[in-house]
């Protein structure tokens, strides 16, 4: 068994095992952590296939952003997952039935699957043939040349999403005390400290 095959079975085995743990684990925090483990192993599988860009994106986006967001939600909201799963037994028959139907359909589709040999040449033309260039470099090259229009438009869409979120939710609340760093730094001892004589048995008004 070659090293690549060994790593494949390692990554694939851990990915399946941890994916199983995601849905069976009683503790939601452990579920999310197993989800992260699944992502990392899937990223390993991508590296084995030579798709290192996809692997890094998977780690950065799914582990770095999505899974951490899940973790925040799980920790901040008091969701009782045991209670959510209560209907499991009750809905098991109908769920199993739907699952079985999908499985049969899937088998039927895959069973009659033929790929037109002409089909494979058309979409895979220009990108696959460059020697000695990693796919990250290749993506970078086409992203900022051939597809610069899509890239910029996608940027504008994200800008609209940001403006929209601010317009619809940001409110100016009066009476909120905010930190003003320049004022803090400009404070001198004279402004902050006042020395007064305290007459005996009378005190002073502050």
Partner 1 sequence: MTAIQAVLPSLSPVMPELILAIGVLGLILYGAFRGERSAESVNVGALILLILAFFVVVSQSGAKVTTLNGSFIVDNFSKVMKALILLGSAATILLSRDYFQRERIDRFEFPILIVLCTIGMMVMASANDLIALYLGLELQSLAAYVIAAFHRDNLKSTEAGLKYFVLGALSSGMLLYGSSLVYGFTGTVSFPGIVSALNDNAGIGIVLGIVFVAAGVAFKMSAVPFHMWTPDVYEGSPTPVTAFFASAPKMAAVAMTVRVFIGAFPDVTAIWQQIIVFVAIASMTLGSFAAIGQRSIKRLMAYSSIGNVGYALIGLAAASEEGIRGVVIYMIIYLAMTLGAFAVLLSLRRGGQMFETVDDLSGLSRTHPVLAFCLAAMMFSLAGIPPLAGFFGKFYVFAAAIKADLVGLAVIGVVTSVVGAFYYLRLVKVMYFDEPQAPYETMTPGLRIVLGLSSAVVVLFFLVPSPLVSAAGAAAKSLF
Q: Is 154 in the site for partner 1 (CB under 8 A)?
A: yes
Q: Is 180 in the site for partner 1 (CB under 8 A)?
A: no
- By the 8 A CB rule, do 41 and 14 touch? yes
Q: Is 143 in the site for partner 1 (CB under 8 A)?
A: no
User: At closest approach, how far in Å is the CB of 37 from partner 1?
Assistant: 31
- Smaller CB distance to partner 1: residue 121 or 185? 121
- Smaller CB distance to partner 1: residue 76 or 166? 166
CB neighbour list of residue 45: distance below 8 Å, 6 or more residues apart: 8, 11, 12, 15
Contact window for partner 1 (CB under 8 A) among 2-10, 39-47, 150-158, 187-195: 150-158
* Contact track, partner 1, 90-129, x by CB under 8 A: -----------------------------x--xx------
- By the 8 A CB rule, do 138 and 130 touch? yes
- Indicate the length of the chain as a whole number: 206
Q: How far apart are alpha carbons 81 and 197 in whole angstroms?
A: 64
Q: Between the CA atoms of 151, 153, 157 and 162, what dihedral angle is there, to the nearest 10 degrees? A: 70
CB neighbour list of residue 70: distance below 8 Å, 6 or more residues apart: 32, 35
Neighbouring CB atoms inside 10 A of 19's CB total 17
User: At closest approach, how far in Å is the CB of 118 from partner 1?
Assistant: 9
User: At closest approach, how far in Å is the CB of 15 from partner 1?
Assistant: 26
Q: Is 160 in the site for partner 1 (CB under 8 A)?
A: yes
Tokens found for residue 19? 């994916």
Please tell me the count of residues contacting partner 1 according to CB under 8 A.
Answer: 26
Residues that bind partner 1 (CB under 8 A): 119, 122-123, 130, 132-133, 141, 145-150, 152-154, 156-157, 159-161, 163-164, 166-168
């Amino acid at each position: 068994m070659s090293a690549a095959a060994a790593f494949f079975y390692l990554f694939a085995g851990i990915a399946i095992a941890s994916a199983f743990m995601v849905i069976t684990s009683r503790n939601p925090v452990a579920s999310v952590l197993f989800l992260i483990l699944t992502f990392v192993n899937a990223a390993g599988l991508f590296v084995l296939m030579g798709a290192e860009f996809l692997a890094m994106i998977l780690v950065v986006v799914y582990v770095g952003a999505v899974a951490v967001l899940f973790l925040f939600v799980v920790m901040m909201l008091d969701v009782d997952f045991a209670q959510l799963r209560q209907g499991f037994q009750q809905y098991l028959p109908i769920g199993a039935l739907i699952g079985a139907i999908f499985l049969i359909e899937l088998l039927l589709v895959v069973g009659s699957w033929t790929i037109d040999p002409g089909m494979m040449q058309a979409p895979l033309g220009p990108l696959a043939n460059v020697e000695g260039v990693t796919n990250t470099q290749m993506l970078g090259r086409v992203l900022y040349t051939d597809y610069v229009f899509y890239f910029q438009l996608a940027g504008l869409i994200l800008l609209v999403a940001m403006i929209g979120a601010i317009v619809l939710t940001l409110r100016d609340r009066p009476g909120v005390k905010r930190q003003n760093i320049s004022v803090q730094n400009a404070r001198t001892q004279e402004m902050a400290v006042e020395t007064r004589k305290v007459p005996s048995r009378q005190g002073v008004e502050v």
